[in-house]
């Protein structure tokens, strides 16, 4: 039984946003997409998918709506629209956004990129890497980094992918922080705590969404590349998120759903979540999920950009 698991991130009025070029879905397009999905698919609940994974039935053309990262957009924009038509969304906030007034690295990258010319940011990053090479940090030569990481994917240019990979995983962690802080000050110019409070949902908002039938799942603690971590580190990240989200009543740590940040996992991560009450796992692998053939802890998803009115890419799958 197949499920179109649709992945969303930012949903906002882009034209009136402080960052109109952020990679998100405009509210008007979101409404049109929900109307399309509601007309052409049966939008199911997370509980329906879990039942199907245990052998239950699903309607034809099932679709599940998933929203990553806990943005305030999900409370102010998405939740009212879904609540109005009586369908469920599944929301996956990293626990750190509820505990600390700081901006996740993944979002710093998004807003740095949305604040100016990509080429200028790209060149500034390369300059910063060159300045720090050999002083304290062991970093491959620039031409080696460019050859390996300056490669486009289906949504981003090679320059953007290079910026993301350098600031996500490639550069040493302490150097990433140095560069992040500099770029965030230069490009954003807003106190980080203030920016974080504007960007993310809080505990009360998520609790209200859950009370109205939305599903809340786990997205790790600090939105890290779990698949690249040492065993003790990814276990701590997941355990901390699980215990915190359970303590505030947003999930049940005995029965929950994992959404791997960046779609990153390894065999150890999967084994750990399975041993600790995880009922299903969502990845960023591009495909329509099949409850009969896919590993329930490694379910693929398609992106909002794969469906009308953005495109009809979903038909390829």
What is the per-residue pLDDT for 154? Answer: 87
Q: Domain check: are 59 and 6 in the same one?
A: yes
d(CA 312, CA 104): 32
Tell me the pLDDT of the chain averaged across its residues: 95
Q: Domain check: are 52 and 127 in the same one?
A: no
Q: Rounded mean pLDDT of 249-258?
A: 98
Pairing type for strands 62-68 and 299-303 reads unpaired
Please tell me the total count of domains within the chain: 2
Q: Would 9 be classed as within a structural domain?
A: yes
Q: Rounded mean pLDDT of 124-136?
A: 89
Q: Domain check: are 252 and 308 in the same one?
A: yes
Q: Would 109 be classed as within a structural domain?
A: no
54 in Cβ contact with 223 (< 8 Å): no
Domain that holds residue 309: 2-102+194-316
Those residues whose C-beta lies under 8 Å from the C-beta of residue 140, and which sit 6 or more positions away, are: none
Q: Domain check: are 276 and 160 in the same one?
A: no
CATH of the domain at 70: 3.20.20.370
Reported as a pLDDT band with limits 50, 70 and 90, residue 80 is: very high
Please identify, among 134, 159, 187, the residue that sits at the C-terminal boundary of a domain: 187
Q: Rounded mean pLDDT of 195-205?
A: 96
Q: Would 110 be classed as within a structural domain?
A: no
What is the per-residue pLDDT for 186? Answer: 87
Please identify, among 187, 221, 245, the residue that sits at the C-terminal boundary of a domain: 187
What is the per-residue pLDDT for 278? Answer: 98
Q: What pTM value is reported for the model?
A: 0.92
What is the per-residue pLDDT for 232? Answer: 98
């Amino acid at each position: 039984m197949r499920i179109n698991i649709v992945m969303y991130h930012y949903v906002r009025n882009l034209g009136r946003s402080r960052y109109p070029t952020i990679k998100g879905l405009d509210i008007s397009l979101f409404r049109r997409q929900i109307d399309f999905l509601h007309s052409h698919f049966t939008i199911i609940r997370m509980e329906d998918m879990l039942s199907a994974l245990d052998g239950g039935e699903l309607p034809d053309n099932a679709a599940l709506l998933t929203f990553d990262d806990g943005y305030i957009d999900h409370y102010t924009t998405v939740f009212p629209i879904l609540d109005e038509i009586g369908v469920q969304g599944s929301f996956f906030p990293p626990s750190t956004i509820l505990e600390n007034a700081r901006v996740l690295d993944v979002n710093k990258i998004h807003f740095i990129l949305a604040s100016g010319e990509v080429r200028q940011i790209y060149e500034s990053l390369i300059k910063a890497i060159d300045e720090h090479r050999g002083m304290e940090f062991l970093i491959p030569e620039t031409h080696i980094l460019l050859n390996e990481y300056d490669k486009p994917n289906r949504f981003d240019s090679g320059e953007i992918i290079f910026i993301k990979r350098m600031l996500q995983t490639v550069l040493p962690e302490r150097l990433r922080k140095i560069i992040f802080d500099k770029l965030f000050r230069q490009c954003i110019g807003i106190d980080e705590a203030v920016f974080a409070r504007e960007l993310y949902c809080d505990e009360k908002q998520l609790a209200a969404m859950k009370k109205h039938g939305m599903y809340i799942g786990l997205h790790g603690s600090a939105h890290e590349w779990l698949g690249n971590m040492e065993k003790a580190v990814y276990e701590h990240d997941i355990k901390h998120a699980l215990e915190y989200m359970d303590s505030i009543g947003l999930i049940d740590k005995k029965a929950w759903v994992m959404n791997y940040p960046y779609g990153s996992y390894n065999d150890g991560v999967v084994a750990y979540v399975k041993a600790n009450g995880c009922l299903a796992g969502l990845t960023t692998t591009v495909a329509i999920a099949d409850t009969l053939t896919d590993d329930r802890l490694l379910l693929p998803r398609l992106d909002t950009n794969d469906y009308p009115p953005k495109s009809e890419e979903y038909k390829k799958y």
